[in-house]
Amino acid sequence: MTRSEKEKMLIGEPYLCMDPELVEERLKARQLVYDFNQSKPEDEELRKRILDQLLGKHYNAFIEPNFRCDYGSNITVGKNFYANFDCIMLDVCKIEIGDDVLLGPGVHIYTASHALDPIERSKGVEFGIPVKIGNRVWIGGNVTILPGVTIGDNAVIGSGSVITKDVDANVVVAGNPAKFIKHIELNKK
């Protein structure tokens, strides 16, 4: 069975990014993102309708403009999601975000990657690795999350951090690359 380039992309196999189906889907997403980013501050209903068309699944997500993504359809967010200004989600693979997650301004989440071999890279071959963010996570401003990362529940990511590997639940991490800072003592009330 031969897989389409889109099927290969979604399961993390190398694929050709300039495949006509993928180009068309990215163009559709870019038009929706453009409309979202050009909306007036008081146009909350319009923004909600655009997010309904753009995102794979969400429960009343609140995203401040400007927002960017590749496809949108590979992004799912839970309840009470908030993304501050200038969020970028490169969603060639799934980006799964839990409930009660807060993103500071300028957060970038990448699932897209490229071959290390320059010949392969020049042919337009890409691949992706999913990103998963648990529940009640707070991600500070200007954080970059690299492909394949999983962030556990209740984690806090310090501003300006680069997340290159998985983050345990109930911890604070920060830095470039991010390193463990401390455990979070949960309030049992």
Closest to 159 in 3D by CA, of 181, 139, 136, 137: 139
Strand partners, 183: 171
CA nearest neighbour of 133 among 105, 159, 169: 169
Q: Is 147 helix (H, G, I), strand (E, B) or coil?
A: coil
β-partners of residue 138 are 102, 156
Q: Please confirm whether the linkage preceding 105 is cis (ω < 30° from 0).
A: no
Q: Under 8 Å CB-to-CB from 143, ≥6 apart: which residues?
A: 103, 104, 106, 107, 108, 157, 158, 159, 160, 161, 162, 163
Residues carrying an active site annotation = 114
Q: From edge to edge, which strands make up the β-sheet containing 67-69?
A: 67-69, 87-90, 108-110, 144-145, 162-163
Residue type, 73: S
